[in-house]
């Protein structure tokens, strides 16, 4: 949340109108009588409310973490504190009263509702796409929540057995039950894999929705289909890694073919991880950031979805709006309202010219970037591409349960920090691309 607030603040300082790009319909500064045409005031209102909500939720999490340190000698108490912390954070988000940055919370909850709603007919908005992509970066958290709940239920089970005076005196059956419960809290199995896959399934549903709403055979249809393939490719990675860990924990493949089967499954896992990571990186560069333009007019994105030829009138409009920055380019955008049922008014045309823009004539822009750069300095884009590649590969270790990254000293924590940074960087250029193209 703090990262999202920083995104909004810096984009506002860079002269990018975040509100019309994300299509947020409610203005938090309207009640103070300030002009809706003042972009700086509007975007300041957004980032302040986001920072405020992040401070509230961060304070709750910090309090829970501090209590866990105080009760470090009692694992049972730590588990209870962790679960209570999650419950308090959830309650703070869903409280219906107009407190705790009500507008921002309602925008978040409405967006989450549209993301999980299994509809193939409702419009898909940019704010929901960005939110769903952020959820994919938090995929492992869903599995971790299951482990917390499992540990808490195990504590209640042991407490119940002790109160009844059973302990392990009930025989081997109760001992086996206890071992199976402990194993479940180490490896969530199929249910854990499903929870990790859910954010990718939500995003896959969005892509399928957009594909069905596109004209068959058009460039948009090809792009949405290719994007759906990207998210679908995450499912084999999750399933294969879960299967490998389950086999290692349970020893279910204790046969003469076990070594061969495990090597075969591991090979499939490596191929799946390589394809998903490299394809996702390609998509970040070619589509999400719209980079990879060549001096001859071709683009990296043409490998998947070639650009459709424009009509003569469209070419004239494009030339006047992009190659000559003395004018002001415009972009037609949809409206992302707080109403979960869809837009409530017509698309608007938003001016996208500011003093910080950098534009080059066709064929003379920096290598592998694009003619319009809203952040100006080309080296920022090159650095972002390099960092995105490195972190795309690193985050794979956290996504796959086959690698016991959590057994390393703070390994899982630092991988989470790196993924937060990658998504934070990705969001900057994702929104910048919408303002530039």
Q: How confident is the model at residue 403 (pLDDT cuts 50, 70, 90)?
A: low
Residue 33 backbone zone (phi > 0: left; psi -120 to 50: alpha; other: beta): left
State residue 219's pLDDT score.
87
- Measure the CA–CA gap between 131 and 109, rounded to whole angstroms: 11
State residue 252's pLDDT score.
54
Residues 323-335 have a mean pLDDT of 35
Residues 171-188 have a mean pLDDT of 55
Average pLDDT across the chain, whole number: 76
More confident residue, 328 or 76: 76
CB 348 within 8 A of CB 333: yes
State residue 365's pLDDT score.
81
Q: Which residues of 38-58 are buried (b: 16+ CB within 10 A; e: fewer)?
A: ebebbbbbbbbbbbebbebbe
Lookup: tokens for 26: 């409610």
State residue 29's pLDDT score.
36
Residue 299: beta bridge partners?
293
End-to-end CA distance of the chain: 27
State residue 207's pLDDT score.
96
More confident residue, 256 or 427: 427
- Measure the CA–CA gap between 186 and 180, rounded to whole angstroms: 10
State residue 366's pLDDT score.
86
> pLDDT tens, 357-366?
666 666 678 8
Q: Please state the φ and ψ torsions of residue 166, each to the nearest 5 degrees.
A: -90, -50
CB 39 within 8 A of CB 12: yes
Look at the block and give the residue holding tokens 């690193």: 394
Q: Does pLDDT of 123 surpass 80? A: yes
> pLDDT tens, 1-15?
888 889 888 898 888
């Amino acid at each position: 949340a703090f990262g999202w607030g920083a995104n909004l603040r810096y984009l506002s300082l860079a002269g990018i109108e975040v509100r019309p790009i994300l299509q947020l319909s409610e203005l938090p500064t309207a009640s103070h009588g300030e002009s809706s045409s003042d972009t700086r005031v509007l975007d300041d209102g957004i980032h302040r409310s986001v920072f405020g909500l992040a401070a509230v939720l961060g304070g709750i999490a910090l309090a829970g973490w501090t209590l866990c340190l105080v009760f470090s000698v009692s694992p049972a108490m730590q588990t209870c504190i962790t679960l209570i912390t999650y419950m308090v954070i959830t309650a703070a988000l869903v409280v219906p009263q107009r407190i705790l940055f009500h507008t921002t919370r309602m925008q978040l909850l409405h967006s989450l509702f549209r993301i999980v709603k299994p509809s193939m007919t409702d419009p898909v908005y940019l704010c929901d796409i960005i939110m769903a992509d952020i959820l994919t970066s938090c995929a492992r958290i869903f599995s971790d929540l299951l482990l917390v709940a499992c540990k808490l239920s195990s504590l209640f089970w042991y407490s119940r057995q002790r109160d009844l005076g059973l302990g392990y005196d009930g025989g081997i059956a109760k001992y086996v039950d206890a071992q199976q419960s402990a194993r479940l809290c180490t490896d969530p199995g199929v249910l854990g894999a499903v929870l990790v896959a859910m954010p990718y399934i939500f995003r896959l549903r969005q892509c399928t929705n957009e594909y069905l709403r596109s004209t068959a055979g058009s460039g948009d249809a090809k792009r949405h289909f290719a994007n759906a393939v990207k998210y679908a490719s995450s499912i084999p990675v999750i399933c294969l890694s879960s299967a490998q860990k389950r086999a290692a924990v349970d020893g279910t493949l204790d046969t003469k073919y076990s070594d061969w089967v495990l090597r075969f499954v591991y090979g499939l896992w490596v191929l799946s991880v390589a394809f998903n990571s490299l394809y996702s990186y390609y998509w970040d560069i070619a589509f999400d950031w719209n980079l990879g333009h060549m001096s001859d007019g071709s683009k990296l994105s043409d490998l998947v979805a070639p650009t459709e030829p424009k009509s003569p009138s469209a070419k004239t409009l494009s030339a006047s709006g992009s190659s000559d920055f003395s004018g002001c380019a415009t972009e037609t955008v949809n409206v992302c309202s707080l109403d979960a049922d869809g837009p409530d008014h017509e698309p608007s045309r938003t001016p996208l010219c500011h003093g910080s823009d950098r534009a080059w004539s066709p064929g003379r822009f920096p290598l592998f970037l694009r003619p319009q750069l809203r952040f100006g300095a080309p080296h920022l884009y090159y650095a972002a591409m390099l960092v995105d590649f490195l972190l795309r590969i690193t985050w794979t270790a956290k996504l796959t349960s086959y690698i016991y990254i959590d057994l390393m000293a703070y390994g899982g924590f630092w991988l989470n920090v790196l993924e937060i940074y990658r998504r934070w960087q990705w969001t900057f250029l994702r929104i910048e691309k919408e303002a530039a193209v």
